[in-house]
A and B are shown apart, each in its own frame.
Chain A
Amino acid sequence: MDNTLVAIIIGALVIFIGYTFYARRIDKAVIQSDPNRATPARLYMDGVDFVPTSRNVLYGYHFKSIAAAGPIVGAITAASIWGWVPSLIWLALGVMFIGWASDYSAIVVSVRNDGNSLSAIAHQLIAPRTRRILLLFIFFYLLLVAGAFGNLVANVLNQPIVPLGIIALALFGLLGGYLLYRKRMDLILVTVIIVGGTLLAVLLNADQNGWVATRFKDFNGWLNDFDKNGVVTVINPLAPANAQEVPLSVSFVFWLLFMFAFCYLGAILPIWRYTQPVNYIGFWLTALTIVLGGLGAFLAFFFKHDLATFKIDGFTSFNGTAAAQARGAIQPLWPMLFVTIACGAISGWHALIGSVSTARQIENEEDMLPVGGGAMFSEFALGLLSLLAVATVPLSGAPAQNRFAQGIGNFLNVFGISTTYGTAIGFAAFVVIVITVVQLLFRVMRVTLAEGLGERWPVFRNMHVGTLISMLAAFVLVMSGTWIYIWQLFGSANQLMASLSLLVVTVWLFSTRRNPLYAGLPCVFMYVTTMAATVVIGYNLWQTIVDEFWGVAGRGVAVGGALVTIAIAVLLFVAALFIAVDGIRAIQRFRERPPEVAPRPAPAPGGASGD
């Protein structure tokens, strides 16, 4: 039972049953998608934002856009705390009953409301302040993602077998933008140069004892000689009890700053010059990993059975591993599992932002389900692959991302690719997926800052100022925060946004006299769960860091970081309360309103009745 083939069969059944018997039914019975109804893309076709697009093209675009780091990191972290069985169950049930509904409904609401975004519809249906609160939510959500991902990227880059591929990614990204847009070179030729070059750099750096890796090892050693005790000490509650105080080395800080430099280019250069080609290279590396890794996970059962067998516990305990409970922390499966695995099961960000562009390109109402729901089911498959990769590698004290890379290396080994190179590709794919997201996070953060504060303080409109402030905030969070709690708080913010987007959908369903249960019930479940999780995270931060280390010399940074994170948790909690109160009022408003009567047709000329 505990092997990749069984998990893949379960995943395939979830997708088939969820899509065919539930999603399609909702699409037909509740939403009543009508191929003859004109969509905003057809009504307002302007060749830019509103463009009717084939459902297959749109599916590819939407899936590529949502298939990022969230489903990978969440699944591998949760499997390490509670085991692979609860993680698999939540991934499956989450996507089947909530995830697809959230993504699909956001597109539906947008399509049925002239292509307006979800926050504009919230402004209109719920309350004007909802939009402002969502903007605040988005900024802190992005800050938490930047803090969580920044830590991961710096940790992985600090390993000597990784950096060359990422340096090459930046350089080939710049080259790609130049060749494509300035030299107008053919896309296929540019693809061969930039993707091939980056892949070559990844493989050159793969061997632990090779020339390149040795140079990076020496370089890191040279940096660490400056301060052998590390720059600051943070707390890692998931480490063994005697190793939870982790000094952040000088080389870690160097690679963190390298990541910021990488992202600075992404945040300030025109999108075509750097971000777009970097993401394009990233897509190829990711696609290679997903396709070969997925096939390898399936075939491993038949050809390399040992690689297909799960090596970690199916279920540790309701409260997670003993390490997760050290220093009095609590990690109860409910609600914490539901925020640790966010994107693979359900993601609020997809709904809030994804609907803006995708909904305006829907050509036919019948495409809403395959594009919105179908892409979310595919993202579940990515979360499942990550879970398989990490579950087939034994717990060894190594971080989850290392075990993920090793698991991918094992799956690629089924095709005869050496584990050394396979693991390097796994590492590269992981960093590429994360770093391509982080560079855009800072871009969006500076835009959000300019939008929120630029009117009062014009200095925030300066893109360098906005970017540097965002990076400074993320730097403080990485250097002082506790990774697992930042990640879980990010998950809470993400799932809260999901429940808020489902709230908008529920209000819309009420306002149009449709059955709101398919969105309303998940909305209530996610809301209660994530509010409870936010409280637990605040408690854990207080219990394990503030209470434990208050006044202890040398731990002031960790205590300060914990207090900042608690403040963000409180802010998100209060913001979510405001939105919920406004949402309930809006529902009452629509329930009390008498049903709209269809207008009587005008009498025909000559006095005949129009009935």
Chain B
Amino acid sequence: MPAAESRRARSVSARPGPWPRVQARLRRVLHALAEMFYGATGFEFERQAMRVRADLENFFIFMIVGELIGVPVLPPYYALRLLPYLVGDIAAWKRRVLRPREAVEREEFELHGV
């Protein structure tokens, strides 16, 4: 049997009937609903946790490499040993702390729909 024909035969026999397709679609819909539900409930807690962690990290990195953004901080000499661990985060940190912010940016939870 030529290769193309055998491939066609395999694909015909492996083609799922309507029920598995319905099942797959149902799974996708349920997954989407679960995600929406998470977005409306737990996501805000996750964002809050991320912000708290980022605030601490901002401050920590600032104490070590604050000079990079023009603040004359004198870190202890042993902070140099931390540098290899920070290098990957420095670009994102600089963007985060130097980005212009809106007055109400940190307080906008739930207020979108006044």
Contact = CB atoms under 8 A, between A and B. Distances in A.
B22 interface: no
Interface in B31-59: 32-33, 35-45, 48, 50-52, 54
B5 interface: no
Given A180-B45, A283-B40, A447-B103, A46 B95 contact: yes
A331 interface: no
Contact of A276 (B50, B93, B109): B109
A444 B45 contact: no
Nearest to B105: A356
Given A444-B104, A447-B104, A57 B35 contact: yes
B113 A56 contact: no
Contacts of A69: 113-114
B113 A379 contact: yes
Q: Specify the main secondary structure of chain A where it touches its partner.
A: helix
Contact of B42 (A53, A135, A187, A343): A187
B102 A275 contact: no
* Interface-central residue, A48, A187, A275, A280, by most chain B CB under 10 Å: A48
Given A46-B95, A59-B39, A272-B48, A343 B102 contact: no
Contact of A353 (B33, B42, B52, B111): B111
Interface string B8-44: 0000000000000000000000001101111111111
B112 interface: yes
Contact of A63 (B40, B102, B111): B40
A2 interface: no
Nearest to B52: A272
Contacts of B92: 44-47
Interface string B51-90: 1101000000000000000000000000000000000000
Nearest to A371: B39
A489 to B, nearest CB: 14
A255 B87 CA distance: 55
Interface string A48-90: 1101011011111111111111110000000000000000000
Given A65-B110, A349-B113, A54 B35 contact: yes
Contact of A441 (B52, B93, B114): B114
A116 B45 CA distance: 24
Nearest to B33: A56
* Interface-central residue, B36, B38, B95, B113, by most chain A CB under 10 Å: B113
Nearest to A59: B36
Nearest to B58: A48
Contacts of B42: 187
Interface in A321-351: 343, 347, 349-350
Size bracket, chain A contacts: 35 or more
B102 A349 contact: no
A130 interface: no
Interface residues of B, number: 36
Interface string A588-603: 0000000000000000
A119 interface: yes
A561 interface: no
A590 to B, nearest CB: 23
A357 interface: yes
Contact of A60 (B36, B100, B107, B112): B36
A271 B107 CA distance: 8
Contacts of B109: 65, 271, 275-276, 279, 440
Given A57-B43, A283-B40, A440-B107, A119 B102 contact: yes
A441 B110 CA distance: 10
Contact of B103 (A116, A357, A436, A448): A448
B44 A437 contact: no
B102 A120 contact: yes
A54 B31 CA distance: 11
A357 to B, nearest CB: 6
Contacts of A65: 109-113
B109 to A, nearest CB: 6
A63 B38 CA distance: 12
A121 to B, nearest CB: 11
8 contacts: A48-B50, A56-B36, A57-B43, A60-B39, A60-B43, A68-B114, A349-B111, A440-B109
Interface of A: 44-49, 51, 53-54, 56-71, 116-117, 119-120, 135, 138, 142, 145, 180, 187, 271-272, 275-276, 279-280, 283, 287, 343, 347, 349-350, 353-354, 356-357, 379, 436-437, 440-441, 443-444, 447-448, 450-452, 494
Given A67-B113, A450-B103, 6 more contacts: A46-B95, A68-B112, A271-B109, A353-B111, A353-B112, A494-B114
Interface of B: 32-33, 35-45, 48, 50-52, 54, 92-93, 95-96, 100, 102-114
